[in-house]
Structure 1
Amino acid sequence: MLHILTHDILPVFSMLALGFLLGRLDKVSKGEAGAINRIAFLILQPALIFPLISALDWSSFRVGALAGYAASQVALFGLTFAVCRLLFRRELLESWLLAMATIFVNTLLYIWPISFLIYGEAAALPVTAIVAWDAAVSFAFFIVTTDLMANRGAGPGPALRRIASNPVLIAIALGMVVNVTGLPVAEPILTAMGFAGAGAAPLTLFALGVILSGHALTPTPLVATVSALKLLAFPALVAGALWAVAPPEAWQTLFTLTAAGPSGAMAFALALLYGVRTDAIAPVIIWTSVLSLFSLAWLA
């Protein structure tokens, strides 16, 4: 457990921690971090996502395990959304994004590289399946629905144009087209994408750390509740769902490991993009990132 924590988890977490530290010391400004994050979103993340989606072997995935994971996401999302709206009286869009934070794990940029360090590429197939699911379905769903909810009076035209011009969604769509049709992709293009995509995780995590450093860490009742739902309820739901469908042990272990990961940064990024208050979302990401260090090491 200690070796996994020090050799596989902390090296990935260090970029987030470094950004947070340099942000608190005023060595890197929020504006500079925002520019880094924008470059990562426009260029590096699409370069990481397209080869992943286009090369997936969907037949190797355990459909029952993915269905159990997805069902757990739906159940916890509904519960968290109701708690935020009815118990804590938060606004619609903030409740939507807080609920997203409990089920959308930082899989692509955090759990995926950690799982490769621990288990290797072949053993990390279950995590790759979740990355594919979250990238192709969950990620796209929240980008689209958040945009529509935030611009309800603007009509469908502007919303469709914004969605159609989103670089991550474009990468997902093109990757799916190439995957389904079997169209070849030139090797130099894949090499360039591999070179660019390698920087997506460290730069995004670093920028996130800088941006989060400007937020208070106080664990309010709302922050504590949402963090607990993320770190305790979600892994428990996933473990229970997988016990019911009985996939191979590696799938159950790695799906539960992924569910125990920290909240993904996308909920925070969407809140910033659409002017939603972040005084609860930011601490949730910080606390789940820190506390999940120990749960991930134990589960791995």
Structure 2
Amino acid sequence: MLNTLADIAIIVLPVFGMVAVGYLSARIGLVSERATDGLAEFVFSLSVPVLIFKTLSESQLPQAQPWGYWISYFVGAFFVFGLAMLAAERLFGRGRQEAVIHGFAAGQANTVFVGVPLILKAYGPEGAVPLFLLIAIHLPVMLVAATVLLEGSAGFSRGTLVKLVKALAFNPILVGIYAGALARVLDIQAVGVPKQMVDLLAAAATPCALISLGLSLKRYGMAGGDIAPSALICVLKLLVHPAAVLALTFVFTMPPVWAGVAVLFAAMPSGINGYLLAQRYGIGVGTSTSAVSMSTGLAVVSVAFWLYVLGVG
């Protein structure tokens, strides 16, 4: 158990370190206030889409799809998504769009920054296939659902539907998904100089997103992020989501490693994409910022708990 806690700390502390660099840079005036929005736009519109394209275009997926695995994970994800939306509207008096941001923060996991190194360390090469299968479809499913709810919150009039179609067609994250999926189907991969450019842009996604998150903490802070809603999101993300997935893995037949990967994937803290989406729509930024920070810190303990439950480490 102690070794597991030490391993998780080694993974999580560098993430906090990058966030701290962004926060301190803004705090001492090294980076100006206007850089917060500019860096967030770069991450959302260019760097993360390229990372998604690279991941999808280079992935190797099996022919048969594990439907029980998909169902176990996403039923749990949308369960907490709905609970977070309900709580935002009924308990905290938030509007529908902000409630969607709360739901997305509760259902969308930090897979790249924490999930990949942790799950591969826990299960080794045997866990790689289920892990990357879930990564390939996780963000598209969650982001499309959030975008549909955000764009359709005003009612599905003809104008709203046209706006929704445009939003789904030209959303930078979704464009990266479309391009990556098409490249995978056609077996097209970047080579030579284009590959080096793709690799550089993809590599910038993680540090820039974390620095961007740190810059936003200077503007909003933990208090500006509404502690009560953020704490509830953390409970849903770190405890309720993996518990729901674990229960469903007993309903659907799958190998123990696949079940363990699904539970650990669900136990990851709130992803930075929740903050980026909030920043993009200009709503719920403070709450999503606090949820990402709080859940990442608390994950040191909660993920160790789930590793213990699963008998890993």
Contact 2:53 2:180 in 1 (8 A): yes
Deviation per CA, 1:4-61, whole angstroms, max 9, x where unpaired?
A: 1343332344222332333344433342233222222222212211132233414376
Identify the residue that residue 194 of structure 1 maps to in structure 2: 199
Q: What is the alpha-carbon distance in structure 1 between the residues aligned to residue 124 and residue 29 of structure 2? A: 38
Change in Cα spacing, 1:238 to 1:13, as seen in structure 2 (3 Å) is farther
Q: What is the alpha-carbon distance in structure 2 between the residues aligned to residue 155 and residue 83 of structure 1? A: 26
Cα drift, residue 276 of structure 1? 1.8
* Map 1:1-300 → 2, pairs under 5 A: 1-54=4-57, 55-59=59-63, 62-116=66-120, 123-149=127-153, 155-180=160-185, 182-188=186-192, 189-218=194-223, 220-300=227-307
Contact 2:72 2:252 in 1 (8 A): yes
Q: What is the alpha-carbon distance in structure 2 between the residues aligned to residue 157 and residue 198 of structure 1? A: 34
Q: Which sits farther off after the overlay, 142-151 or 99-108?
A: 142-151
Q: What is the alpha-carbon distance in structure 2 between the residues aligned to residue 184 and residue 65 of structure 1? A: 28
Cα drift, residue 98 of structure 1? 0.5
Change in Cα spacing, 1:96 to 1:195, as seen in structure 2 (3 Å) is same
Cα drift, residue 186 of structure 1? 4.2
Change in Cα spacing, 1:226 to 1:9, as seen in structure 2 (3 Å) is closer
Identity over aligned residues, as a percent? 26
Change in Cα spacing, 1:249 to 1:81, as seen in structure 2 (3 Å) is same
Cα drift, residue 144 of structure 1? 4.0
Contact 1:49 1:172 in 2 (8 A): yes
Q: What is the alpha-carbon distance in structure 2 between the residues aligned to residue 114 and residue 13 of structure 1? A: 16
Deviation per CA, 1:223-258, whole angstroms, max 9, x where unpaired?
A: 322221222111111111113224222222222222
Contact 1:49 1:135 in 2 (8 A): no
Deviation per CA, 1:116-155, whole angstroms, max 9, x where unpaired?
A: 5665565333322221122332223323432343697754
Q: What is the alpha-carbon distance in structure 2 between the residues aligned to residue 152 and residue 26 of structure 1? A: 45
Q: Which sits farther off after the overlay, 57-66 or 74-83?
A: 57-66
Deviation per CA, 1:278-300, whole angstroms, max 9, x where unpaired?
A: 34333222211211122234545
Q: What is the alpha-carbon distance in structure 1 between the residues aligned to residue 220 and residue 234 of structure 2? A: 16
Q: What is the alpha-carbon distance in structure 1 between the residues aligned to residue 137 and residue 295 of structure 2? A: 22
Q: Which sits farther off after the overlay, 182-191 or 113-122?
A: 113-122
Q: What is the alpha-carbon distance in structure 2 between the residues aligned to residue 11 and residue 248 of structure 1? A: 32
Q: Which sits farther off after the overlay, 108-117 or 95-104?
A: 108-117
Contact 1:151 1:159 in 2 (8 A): no
- Report the residue type matching 1:23 in the other structure: A
Unaligned runs of 5+ in 1: none
SS at match of 1:295: helix
Cα drift, residue 75 of structure 1? 1.8
Cα drift, residue 101 of structure 1? 1.0
SS at match of 2:295: helix
- Report the residue type matching 1:38 in the other structure: E
- Alignment size in residue pairs: 299
Deviation per CA, 1:181-218, whole angstroms, max 9, x where unpaired?
A: x3433423344322321221121112112112322324
Q: What is the alpha-carbon distance in structure 2 between the residues aligned to residue 282 and residue 186 of structure 1? A: 34
